[in-house]
């Protein structure tokens, strides 16, 4: 369809999300046509393998494995990129914008690494780039940071933005199970990939955090510079002790502003049981935001899946279609140029939890307390948990008051060097994230 009442779409990718998008766009096109008199029409679809059965009703004549059929077609107004990965998705996205096409994408890798460049280019070419689905699937986050919360200075936010790790941590917490067994189960059920590295090492969360931090603090954030710790070192004992102390363990992506600098880090942390984030379980995602005007807000929902993600993509497409109909672009500019620098992890302040195995005899606690004192670490609590009579060792669990990260690391290093200490078995930050009243 090439008449001026039709808005033509080139869909790149017809996988989990693309097939959901195709189905929903057809339904929503009827509503848009009724409201505006314009038709939304998926003109071409790019795939790798044209003959594959995709479980979705599609005219084989519109399938192509040649990206030029979309990128060089002057009648296509909107490109939806749902290929995934950086290349060739980034090259296609750039070409689409250069050719004067609007871009809707769910690609966190491209937007975290090349988002600022693509957004700048889109401004120059007078086209729109929308990427709501790139973080948190169907949860409205990008639009909220970009426009709904724009009157606020965002002080900080805490996000659970990786469903795979949240599923694993939830099950470890509930069942007392060890990580390898739960991970294997998650792989069997399709919640974790065969190679789970990107999820369990916090890489996926760091990419999403880069996107959110850029928007929240209006500055360019390099995903590679984000401090990151994964979940593989967590043991069932950590979950038991966290619970005894009134916490749960969550993999958090944290963004915080601090005097012209910002913190962006991904790490597993103890979250107070009374905090709303503590109850975000399974594959659900949530972002808890603290703004100067709005106070505390939490966004919660399904962070992945065909329909929730397609919901975000199709909403973006409809927004772009409205912009085309109204003859406007870049209604809400992305200003990611604030001169803010990343605060080194060594300079952050936090409360900490650590546990260790030490000789079960008098005077040991005094030695550990002395090391903490020398490093300016103030111990908040200490509990003796287990004892091994054969080995004559005992397990001690400590929490601290707020301390500097470098000082805490130095203290743990010194404690590990004590002759009475066998090993420091767990080390986690305690997140003072808002609690319910
Ligand atoms: N799945 C989710 O729940 C979810 C949630 C949020 C965001 N996202 C993002 O959405 C995007 C798509 O994810 P998905 O789960 O739908 O992926 P997917 O199921 O793997 O589908 C990818 C699609 O892209 C096509 N494709 C891949 N490489 C291509 C290439 N070089 N040339 C042409 N076509 C190519 C594939 O073609 P064939 O079918 O022929 O192989 C397939 O149709 C990713 O950026 C992902 O991070 C996904």
131 shares its domain with 168: no
Instruction: Tell me: do 146 and 73 sit in the same domain.
Output: no
Please state, in angstroms and as integers, the Cα–Cα distance from residue 153 to each residue in 215, 219, 342, following that order: 11, 13, 17
pLDDT (tens place) for every residue of the chain, 437 residues total: 667 789 999 999 999 999 999 999 988 888 888 888 889 999 999 999 999 988 899 999 999 999 999 999 999 999 999 999 999 999 999 999 999 999 999 999 999 999 999 999 999 999 999 999 999 999 999 999 999 999 999 999 999 999 999 999 999 999 999 999 999 999 999 999 999 999 999 999 999 999 999 999 999 999 999 999 999 999 999 999 999 999 999 999 999 998 889 999 999 999 999 999 999 999 999 999 999 999 999 999 999 999 999 999 999 999 999 999 999 998 887 788 888 999 999 999 999 999 999 999 999 999 999 999 999 999 999 999 888 889 899 999 999 999 999 999 999 999 999 999 999 999 999 998 976 54
Q: Are 396 and 382 in contact (CB under 8 A)?
A: yes
Q: Are residues 239 and 149 in the same domain?
A: yes
By three-state DSSP, how is residue 110 classified?
Answer: helix
Q: Are residues 208 and 151 in the same domain?
A: yes
Q: Same domain, yes or no, for 168 and 156?
A: yes
Q: 111, 134 in Cβ contact below 8 A? A: yes
Do 78 and 219 share a domain, yes or no?
Answer: no
Assess whether the C-beta atom of 166 lies below 6 angstroms from ligand 1.
no
CB of 83 closer than 6 angstroms to any ligand 1 atom: yes
In a domain, 269, yes or no: yes
> Rounded to whole angstroms, how far apart are CA atoms 212 and 134?
10
Residue 13: CB within 6 Å of ligand 1?
A: yes
DSSP 8-state secondary structure symbol assigned to residue 344: P
Which CA distances in Å does 139 have to 131, 156, 309? Answer: 12, 19, 8
CB atoms within 10 A of CB 66: 10
Residue 422 is a catalytic residue: no
How far from the centroid of its chain's Cα atoms is residue 11's Cα?
A: 25
Rounded to the nearest angstrom, the distance between the alpha carbon of 12 and the centre of ligand 1 is 8
- Is 331 within the bounds of a domain? no
Nearest to 138 by CA among 334, 302, 358: 302
Distance 271 CA to ligand 1 centre (A): 34
Q: Are residues 166 and 221 in the same domain?
A: yes
Nearest CA to ligand 1 atom 5: 304
Which residue, 111, 210, 230, 105, is CA-closest to 164?
230
Query: Are 419 and 361 spatial neighbours (Cβ–Cβ below 8 Å)?
Result: no
Q: State the pTM of this model.
A: 0.96
Instruction: Tell me: do 285 and 168 sit in the same domain.
Output: yes
Measured in Å, residue 213 CA sits from the centre of ligand 1 at 25
Q: Assess whether 18 and 77 both reside in one domain.
A: yes
Which pLDDT value is given to residue 29?
85
Write down the H helix ranges in 201-357. Answer: 203-217, 236-245, 306-326
- For ligand 1, whether the C-beta of 80 sits within 6 Å is no
105 contacts 82 by C-beta, under 8 angstroms:
yes
CA 109 to ligand 1 center in whole angstroms: 12
- Give the residue numbers spanning the domain of 172: 142-302
Candidates 43, 108, 208, 250; catalytic one: 208
Closest residue to atom 23 of ligand 1, CA basis = 13
Handedness of CA 135, 141, 143, 149 (dihedral sign): negative
Residue whose CA lies nearest to ligand 1 atom number 28:
83
CATH of the domain at 116: 3.40.50.720
Same-domain pairing of 116 and 152:
no
Q: Is there a single domain that holds both residue 218 and residue 247?
A: yes
Could you please report the per-residue DSSP string of 284-317? EEEEEEEETTTEEEEEEEE-SSHHHHHHHHHHHH
Whether ligand 1 lies within 6 angstroms of the CB of 350 is answered as no
Atom of ligand 1 nearest to the CA of 19: 16
């Amino acid at each position: 369809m090439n008449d001026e009442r039709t808005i033509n779409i080139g869909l790149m990718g017809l996988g989990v999300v693309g097939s959901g998008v195709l189905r929903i766009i057809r339904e929503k096109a009827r509503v848009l046509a009724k409201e505006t008199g314009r038709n939304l029409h998926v003109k071409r679809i790019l795939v790798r393998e044209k003959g594959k059965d995709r479980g979705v009703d599609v005219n084989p004549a519109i399938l192509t494995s040649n990206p030029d059929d979309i990128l060089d077609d002057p009648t296509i107004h909107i490109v939806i990129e749902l290929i995934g990965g950086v290349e060739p998705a980034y090259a296609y996205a750039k070409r689409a914008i250069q050719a004067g096409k609007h871009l809707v994408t769910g690609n966190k890798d491209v937007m975290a690494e090349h988002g600022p460049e693509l957004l700048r280019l889109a401004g120059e070419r007078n086209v729109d780039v929308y990427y709501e689905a790139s973080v948190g699937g169907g949860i409205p986050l990008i639009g909220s940071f970009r426009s709904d919360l724009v009157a606020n200075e965002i002080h900080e936010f805490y996000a659970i933005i990786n469903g795979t790790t949240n599923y694993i941590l939830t099950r470890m917490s509930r069942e007392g199970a060890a990580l390898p067994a739960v991970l294997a189960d998650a792989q069997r059920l399709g919640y974790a990939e065969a190679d789970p590295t990107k999820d369990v090492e916090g890489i996926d969360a760091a990419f999403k955090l880069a996107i959110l931090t850029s928007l929240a603090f209006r500055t360019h954030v390099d995903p590679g510079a984000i401090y990151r710790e994964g979940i593989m070192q967590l043991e069932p004992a950590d979950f038991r002790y966290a619970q005894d102390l009134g916490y749960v363990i969550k993999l958090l992506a944290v963004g915080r502003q601090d005097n012209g600098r910002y913190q962006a880090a991904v790490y597993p942390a103890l979250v107070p049981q009374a905090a709303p984030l503590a109850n975000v379980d399974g594959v659900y995602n949530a972002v808890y935001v603290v703004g100067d005007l709005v106070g505390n807000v939490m966004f919660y929902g399904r962070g992945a899946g065909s329909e929730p993600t397609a919901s975000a993509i199709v909403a973006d497409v409809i927004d772009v279609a409205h912009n085309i109909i109204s003859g406007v672009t870049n209604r809400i500019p992305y200003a990611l140029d604030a001169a803010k620098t990343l605060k080194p992890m060594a300079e952050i302040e936090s409360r900490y939890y650590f546990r260790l195995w030490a000789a079960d005899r008098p005077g040991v606690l005094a030695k550990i307390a002395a090391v903490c004192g020398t490093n300016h670490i103030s111990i908040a609590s200490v509990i003796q948990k287990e004892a091994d009579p054969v080995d004559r060792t005992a397990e001690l669990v400590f929490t601290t008051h707020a301390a500097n990260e470098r000082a805490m690391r130095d203290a743990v290093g010194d404690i590990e060097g004590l002759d009475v200490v066998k090993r420091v078995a767990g080390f986690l930050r305690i997140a003072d994230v808002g609690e319910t009243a």
